[in-house]
Chains A and B, each alone.
Chain A
Amino acid sequence: MTTGRLARWRLVLGALVSHWMRRPLQLAMLLAGLMLATALWSGVQAVNAEARASYATAADRLGTGALPRLEPAGGQALTTADFVALRRAGWQVSPVVEGRLRNGTARVSLLGIEPVTRLGLTPAANDGGDASAGPGPQADLGAFITPPGQGYATAATARALDGADLRGLAIVIDADAPPNTLIVDVGIAQGLLGMGENLTALVAATAQPPGAPPLDRIAPHLTLSDPQAGSAADPAALTDSFHLNLTAFALLSFIVGLFITQSAVGLAFEQRGGVLRTLRALGVPRAEVLALMAAELAVAALVAGAAGIVLGWAMAAALMPGVAATLSGLYGADVAGSLQLRPGWVLSGLGMALAGTALAGARGLIQTARMPLLAAGMAAPWAQATARGLRLQVIAAGVLVLALPLCLAVGGLVGGFAALACGLLAAALVLPAVLDAVLRLAATRARGVLTGWFVADTRQQLGGLSLALMALMLALAANIGVGTMVGSFRSTFTGWLDQRLSAELYVTARTEDEGRAIRDWLATRADAILPIWNAEASLAGQPGRIYGVADDPTYRDNWPLLAAAPGLWDSLAEGRAVLVNEQLSRRAGLDIGDRIDLPGGALPIAGVYSDYGNPSPQVMMGLDDFGHRFPDAPRLYQAVRVAPDRAGALAAGLADRFDLPASAIVDQSQAKRVSLQIFERTFAVTAALNVLTLAVAGIALLTGLLTLASIRLPQLAPVWAAGIPRRRLARLDLLRTLLLAVATGAFAVPVGLGLAWMLLAVVNVEAFGWRLPMDVSVPLLARLGAASVLTALAAGALPALRLARITPGQLLRVFADER
């Protein structure tokens, strides 16, 4: 061919693209939809990736991420001698001591490691890469292991330990140290925690050299736990649910964004149908037209995707500190609050943008491919809903509803989310049919010509708006669902805090002697002193904590019990039974009457109490029994009952008398404030996503309306000609949008409440181990109703304004063009 194919492509592409130049708003919609979808998706992915990368940093560098652990079973001791015996038998293990340091009210995790054997556990240690990466300036193994030793900690942790008695330990500031953790040598840790020769656990190389004798021959009292099995102590297992939660929202947002893209792309194909036909009539092969349209879409996807990634990045950067706070507050997982650019993340964002565009454009491309060169009459516009289409959607929804119990039967977090997805999608699919039915019903009741026309016209437009309305419905339902969950959480938690933090003051001594002195001093000044001793222990195979509590009305009257055996507090005081928290009860399947293995012998469970915000198992026992079982547990912490109006003075007196730092005395209101803060932060991220999702739905609605506005002039013109002024038509149009939005909002309420139920009763239990009573908030629903009306108003305003300002000439042309 003499014609330069490239020149031809440029010409055709120019003709295609010129459409967008003439309709910049449509182009903006397409790009905005894709960009927002990509931004929401990749923003959340960035947050997730960052958090996950944070957990795995050390693991990646040393390959020690998933080291199996050896722990003593049922309260038996694990000693240095056990460690040596295992090593001498050929087992590649390294000792760990874990505990907690208190400095006033500050608690810092103490982690004792043995660096020499630790690094030998993995082959990665042998490549010397870490050393060349440049360790800290004065790493000194000798100073680390020889008393008083060195402790590695971040500056913040060091501040928290300021003034603590660490037996002369030198703290080395290390920005890479885990937050709120002091790392010392295993021997130093034993000393600081008063553990003698005891160890907490051994970490083991994943692959042990062949020929080592089996564990039960050398150390039968130790059990090997596989980290892959995902114990509750593993932050990944806990935080996974949080990330899954975020990802589900991101996906939802992405889908909502795709609705916009879909309507913009669909409209573009629809409007350019004639041009495509002309191009082919003028001699452009079908394959070229298709390829060039696909290329046009791909470019749009890449441009919008890139913009979306930038936006997502900004969003993630803004959300990251909140997420970091959430994760550390709720799960004790420590995540850096800053963001790094990861190529995989950029690629996934662009990939999603391309895949989303392909999805949105597929229909248009297929229609173009099938389009007959000679138009035999007008094909049904894409925006027209067909009865058959509605039926198909209802059938699909039915299938999804049938799949729902199946997902629930699968169980687990993934099953829960799959069920959520099924339910939401089914609701979205069935929405147009429901609205159609409502309108059909309205049509039979409609009196007056204008009303009748209004209803019929609305029904006709349903097809064009259904995608946008589905998006709005999903956004509203998500808002209702999550809002209800957060509300339920907050009200339950506040009530629980009131019950649980029933004492007026909580005082932490620095030493046991000081603790004794404080109790003596308080004896004459406070109404009651309630010692709260505690010790770490393995509970049903997971690391947890055992509390010894006094027998006092404070507990008898207030403790948030979910289930209680008769005579519970008496049997507790007499050392005949224990209480367990809900997490332990659910995870280990323990109920009242069951016996639980404890250090020093098993006891029956007499009650289960709620323990929100704590991922670990917990046991409460009588103070005397606790004293027998844990004679070495530090006795530093006590609750103080005093008349509330005297609490302030007593706290000041205590601080004066014992020179206690402010953090050593916590009053009830302060504790409640701090606790609530943590939970407010937890859901700040979700709230931000909710607002964004609603915004995206609003844009989808706007796109749909603009699309319709250009298509339905021929339907409006006769009404105008019949004597309805343009302003009135515009008002009617806005009213229609509002009514549809309100109807959609009404439909979203049950869907959203269903979503909330799923989140509270299925997802939450799977993720956190506790169930929340559902608290339906009318103000929340009202607020969201208003939000949906506002969204509709915002979306409907521009099309209505345009209609009000349309020139009679434009309306007249409808008749002129009519053939």
Chain B
Amino acid sequence: MNDASPALAEIAHARGIHKTYHTPGGEVPVLRGVDLSVRRGESVAITGESGSGKSTLLHLIGGLDAPDDGALSVLGTDLRAADDTARATLRRNGIGMIFQQFNLIPSLDVRANLGFQARLAGRFDAARAETLARDLGLSALLGRYPEQLSGGQQQRVAIGRALAGNPPLVLADEPTGNLDEATGDAVAQLMLALVRQRGSALVLVTHSARLADLCDRRVHLRAGRLA
């Protein structure tokens, strides 16, 4: 995998990214020439007002969407040229994704959800999963189903799912947006600690200044550009 290459210090590289949404109400330009570089092990917070394009940028980096213009390369994959399968491969093997709505698989229990992406990527390690569950405080909940968990518990499962395969890049989209402040803080701390412990790079979108301050670097999106 690309993360095995020691020469690659730059994990994500974006230059001149443009993205416009076509809506029935007309064209909505969201990103107008964004440049961003994320290095190995680095944590970057993207902040900005609602509608500033934070999530869009994150989705582009995660290969969930394609830019209209500009150069975008993540873990050596040129995302402007990649097709659905190539982007899926990148997401599966290189990226851990944490969503605001957790997006757990409701019909699988916590244990299965935790190991899901690692298994998908073929990197599941039972001992590592065990440790991770303990670190996340989920050991007692492994047999439960998502609907039986609180929001904070669900987000901890989602974080565990993203990290279990040790991906070189973790993307988090408002990971604490659905949690109350206290829970959100605790979860965010835990996430950052675990990401650092594993040496993964982290890009997170948030409008919580406190969360952003916990990251190595903070970029602000305004009017479609990084400031």
Number of chain A residues whose Cβ lies closer than 8 Å to a Cβ of chain B: 31
Taking the complex as formed, is A15 at the interface, i.e. its CB lies under 8 A from any CB of chain B? yes
Q: Residue on B with the closest CB to A1? A: B89
Range for the number of chain B residues in contact with chain A? 20 to 34
Q: A286-B88, A374-B65 are in contact. Are A3 and B97 (CB under 8 A)?
A: no
Q: Residue on A with the closest CB to B95? A: A283
Taking the complex as formed, is B193 at the interface, i.e. its CB lies under 8 A from any CB of chain A? no
Q: Residue on B with the closest CB to A285? A: B88
| Cross-chain contact B120 with A284 (CB below 8 angstroms) | yes
Q: A280-B88, A283-B88, A374-B59 are in contact. Are A274 and B122 (CB under 8 A)?
A: no
When distances are taken between beta carbons in the complex, the residues of chain B under 8 Å from A19 are 106-107
| Cross-chain contact B119 with A11 (CB below 8 angstroms) | yes
Q: A8-B122, A374-B64 are in contact. Are A281 and B91 (CB under 8 A)?
A: yes
CB B133 to nearest CB in A, in angstroms, measures 18
Contact with B along A269-311 (1 / 0, CB 8 A): 0000011011111111111100000000000000000000000
CB A195 to nearest CB in B, in angstroms, measures 79
Q: In the complex, A21→B92 CA distance in Å?
A: 26
| Cross-chain contact B88 with A18 (CB below 8 angstroms) | no
| Cross-chain contact A373 with B103 (CB below 8 angstroms) | no
When distances are taken between beta carbons in the complex, the residues of chain A under 8 Å from B71 are none
Within the complex, which residue of B88, B103, B116 is in contact with A11, where a contact is CB–CB below 8 Å? B116
Taking the complex as formed, is B90 at the interface, i.e. its CB lies under 8 A from any CB of chain A? yes
Taking the complex as formed, is B216 at the interface, i.e. its CB lies under 8 A from any CB of chain A? no
Highest count of chain B CB atoms <10 Å: which of A4, A284, A287 = A284
Taking the complex as formed, is B117 at the interface, i.e. its CB lies under 8 A from any CB of chain A? yes
Contact with B along A6-22 (1 / 0, CB 8 A): 01100110110011011
Within the complex, which residue of B84, B85, B120, B122 is in contact with A282, where a contact is CB–CB below 8 Å? B120
Contact with B along A238-282 (1 / 0, CB 8 A): 000000000000000000000000000000000000110111111
Within the complex, which residue of A274, A277, A282 is in contact with B116, where a contact is CB–CB below 8 Å? A282
| Cross-chain contact B97 with A15 (CB below 8 angstroms) | no
Taking the complex as formed, is B219 at the interface, i.e. its CB lies under 8 A from any CB of chain A? no
Give the dominant DSSP class at A's interface.
helix
Taking the complex as formed, is A807 at the interface, i.e. its CB lies under 8 A from any CB of chain B? no
Taking the complex as formed, is A444 at the interface, i.e. its CB lies under 8 A from any CB of chain B? no
Highest count of chain A CB atoms <10 Å: which of B59, B85, B88, B99 = B88
Within the complex, which residue of B93, B108, B121 is in contact with A18, where a contact is CB–CB below 8 Å? B108
When distances are taken between beta carbons in the complex, the residues of chain B under 8 Å from A274 are 103, 106
CB B66 to nearest CB in A, in angstroms, measures 10
Taking the complex as formed, is B227 at the interface, i.e. its CB lies under 8 A from any CB of chain A? no
| Cross-chain contact A22 with B88 (CB below 8 angstroms) | no
Q: In the complex, A8→B126 CA distance in Å?
A: 17
Contact with A along B104-123 (1 / 0, CB 8 A): 11111000100011011110
When distances are taken between beta carbons in the complex, the residues of chain A under 8 Å from B97 are 281-282
| Cross-chain contact B92 with A282 (CB below 8 angstroms) | yes
Q: In the complex, A462→B150 CA distance in Å?
A: 34
CB A210 to nearest CB in B, in angstroms, measures 67
Q: In the complex, A282→B84 CA distance in Å?
A: 13
Q: In the complex, A21→B121 CA distance in Å?
A: 25
Taking the complex as formed, is A228 at the interface, i.e. its CB lies under 8 A from any CB of chain B? no
CB A44 to nearest CB in B, in angstroms, measures 37
CB A206 to nearest CB in B, in angstroms, measures 60
Taking the complex as formed, is A138 at the interface, i.e. its CB lies under 8 A from any CB of chain B? no
When distances are taken between beta carbons in the complex, the residues of chain A under 8 Å from B108 are 15, 18
Q: Which of B40-62 contact A (CB under 8 A)?
A: 59, 62
Q: In the complex, A346→B103 CA distance in Å?
A: 43
Q: A18-B105, A275-B107 are in contact. Are A283 and B65 (CB under 8 A)?
A: no
Q: Residue on A with the closest CB to B104? A: A278
| Cross-chain contact B89 with A373 (CB below 8 angstroms) | no
Q: A1-B89, A2-B122, A11-B116 are in contact. Are A281 and B64 (CB under 8 A)?
A: yes
When distances are taken between beta carbons in the complex, the residues of chain B under 8 Å from A286 are 84, 88
Q: In the complex, A4→B121 CA distance in Å?
A: 9
Q: Which of B171-190 contact A (CB under 8 A)?
A: none
Q: In the complex, A278→B92 CA distance in Å?
A: 11
Q: A281-B64, A282-B97, A285-B88 are in contact. Are A7 and B107 (CB under 8 A)?
A: no
Selected A-B contacts with CB under 8 Å, 27 pairs: A2-B122, A4-B122, A7-B119, A8-B120, A8-B122, A11-B119, A12-B120, A14-B112, A15-B116, A18-B108, A19-B107, A275-B105, A278-B104, A278-B105, A281-B91, A281-B97, A281-B103, A282-B116, A283-B89, A283-B120, A284-B120, A285-B84, A285-B89, A288-B88, A374-B59, A374-B64, A374-B65
Give the 4 A-B CB pairs with smallest separation, nearest first: A283-B92, A3-B122, A283-B91, A18-B107
Please give 8 more A-B residue pairs, beta carbons under 8 A apart, in addition to A282-B92, A284-B92. A2-B122, A3-B122, A15-B107, A18-B112, A22-B106, A278-B103, A282-B97, A284-B88
